[in-house]
Structure 1
C-alpha cells in the first residue's frame, strides 16, 4: 500500500495539473460562496463604512469578461514560456532534469493562479442578471475579481523573473545540489549507524550465509522497470510474520527484469503464491529513476550536467567546476555519516532482512568516474577535482573512504599526464595531487 502511495504522490508532484486543479477547485468554491454572501455583505459595508459599490450589470459583465479573457490568454503565454524553459533544459543540460522543472511549485502555482482567476470570473459572470425586475449585480464578487486580476499581474511579473533565474546553469546546479544534500539527510540520518539499537554492523555467522545461499529460493519480479521504492517496514513485518529471512537482490535505482530474482527467501520451502504477491507489493517499479530512495540518481544528474558542459559542442568548464563543487559539498556530509548496516533485525535480534546499501565509495565512484574521464584534457576541471578530494579528505573517518578518495586522485593525475599538453599544467596537477595525498594520509580515516 505504501509503495502505491509513494508512486502516486511522486507522479502527482511531477505533474503540471495537480496544484492548478486544486486552485481551480478552490476558485469555484470561492465564487459560489462570495456570490451567496454578496448582498448582505454589500449592504453592511454600505451602511457601516459608507462604502457603496457602483457599476451596473453591463459594466460588471464587460469587466469580468475582460479579466477572464486576459487570464486565459496569459495562462497560454505562461505555458509557452514553460515549454521553452523545458526545451532549453533538456537540450543543454539533459532530459533527466525535466522532472525538476515539472516539480517546480512556483510554475504550478502561477498556472493555477491564472486558471483560478479565469474560472472565478466566469462563474461570477453567470450570476449577473440584467432584467430590471430581477436585476442582480454582485458588487463584492466583482471587486474581488478585480483584486485577483491585480494579484495575477504581480504573479506574472514574478514568473518572468523566476523563469529568467531558473534557466541559469548555476541555479539549476544549485537546486540539484540541494536535492542531493536533502537526500543524504533523509537516507543517512545521524541516528543510523554503529551502536544503533537492533542494527548490528557485524555480519551473521558464515555458516548461516552459506546455508542461506544453498537453500534460499528466489522470488521473481512481477514486471519490468526501474526500482523506485522499497517498503522496508512491510518486508520486515512479512519476514517476522512468516518467520523467514529476506535478502534483496536489487536496490532502488536498479533496472528489474520481469521474472528475474528480486529477493531471496530462506527457508525456501515457505515460499507460496500469496507470499510472492505480498513481496512484490512491497516494491514500486516505474519507467524512470526517482530520487526518493536512490541517491545515485541525483548524483548522476550533476554528473550529466558536468559532462555535457565538457563536451566539445558546449565547452563550458565553469559549469563543470560548479557541479564538482556541489558534489564535493555532498560528499563532505556523507563522509561524516555512519553507513547503515545491510542487516536488519527484529526486536528479538533475529536477522530478518538483508538489503544492499549505498556506501561512500559507491557514491564517490558515481560522482567522479565520468567527470574524470571527460576532463582529462581540461586542466581547470582536473585541478578542481583534486581540490575537491582534498576538501572531502578533512571529513572522512573510515579507512575505506580515504582509500576511495586516494584511488580517484591517482586516476585523475594519471589521466592528466596523458591528456594535458603543457608541462606547467601537468606540474600544477601534480602539486594538487601531492597536497590531496598528504591530507588523506593525515585524515582520521587513515589512522583507524
Structure 2
C-alpha cells in the first residue's frame, strides 16, 4: 500500500479551520452584523444589546479552563464535537427569541459551547506539530475566523433584507443549522494525537523531550500570567470594534446598512491570512515585539474613522483591523503551547483565555453604556484605541 506524502497533521489543520470557522467566525462574529435589526426587532437599548454580547463572552469565559480539562480527560475530538452540537442548537433557538432575557440566556449558552469547541481546537498543534511549526499551524487555524467574518459581512445583510423585519431570525436559523450539519465532518476528520494513527508530530528533528511541568507547576509560571494580561487587553479592546463597528457606520455615520455590512465583510476577507503572517512575524521578531506591533495596528484602525470621516477611512479601518484581527489569538496559542507540555496545552490556553474572556465580558456592556450616556459611538472607539495602546506597552514587558 502506497504511503501518503501528506502528513495527517495537515488534515487536522483543515478540520480545525472548519471548527474555528463555525465556532468563532459564525457563532461569535455574526452577532455584530445581526445586531442592528435584532435590536430593533426586540426593542433593545444599546445597553441591553451590549449585555447580550457580554453574556456570550461570559459564557465563553466560564468554560475556557473546563474545556481544557475536558480535552485532557476525554479527548479534544469528543469535546469539540459535543460543543458544536450545543452551539448549533442554541444559535438556532436564538432566532426564536421574544425578549431580552431569552436572547441573553441563549447567547450565554452559545458562549459556553464556543469555549468548548475553540480552545481544544487551537491547542491541537501542540500535539500534532513540533515546536518550530506550531506558530504556522496556529496561524492557519485562525483562517477560519476570517472566512466566517467575510461570510457574515457579505452574505447575511442581503439574506436578512430578503426576509424583511424577521430577517435576523432567519439568519440565526441559517447559522445554527449550518453548524449542526458541518459538525459531522469535523468529528470524522479530527484525531486527538498522532499516535492514534501510528504517526509522530509533523516537523523536522528528532523526538522532543517531554515537558515535566505539572498542572501546579504550570499555574505558578510567570510566563503564563504575563500572557494572560496581554490577552486581557486584547479581549477588552478588540471586541468593542467587532460589536459596534457596523452600528457606528450605519447609524451614526449614515452608511447604508448593506454597504456597512460589506465594509465589515472586507475586514473578514483581509483577516483570512493575518494569523499566518503574525505567527511567522512573532518567530522572527519575538513574541513581545510582535504583540506590541499588533496592538498599535489595532489602535490605528479604531482612530481612522474618527480622524478621517470619509469612505476611504472606513474601508481602510476595516482592512487594517482585518490584517491584525487574528494576530494575537494565533500568537497566544503558540506561546501557550510553548509554555506547557503538549497534553496541558489546552489547559494553558484556557487559563490565558480567562483573562481574554474577562476583557470581552467587560467590553461590550461598558461600550454600550457609554453610547447610551453620550449618545455617540465616538467615545467607544477612542476608548478601544487607548486600550490597545496600553496593550502594546504591556506586551513589551514580556520576554521575547
The answer to whether the superposition gives a TM-score over 0.5 is: no
Q: What TM-score range do you get, normalising by the shorter chain? A: under 0.3
Q: Greater strand share, 1 or 2?
A: 1
Structure (1 or 2) with the larger CA radius of gyration: 1
Taking structure 1 as the reference length, the TM-score comes to 0.21
Q: Greater helix share, 1 or 2?
A: 2
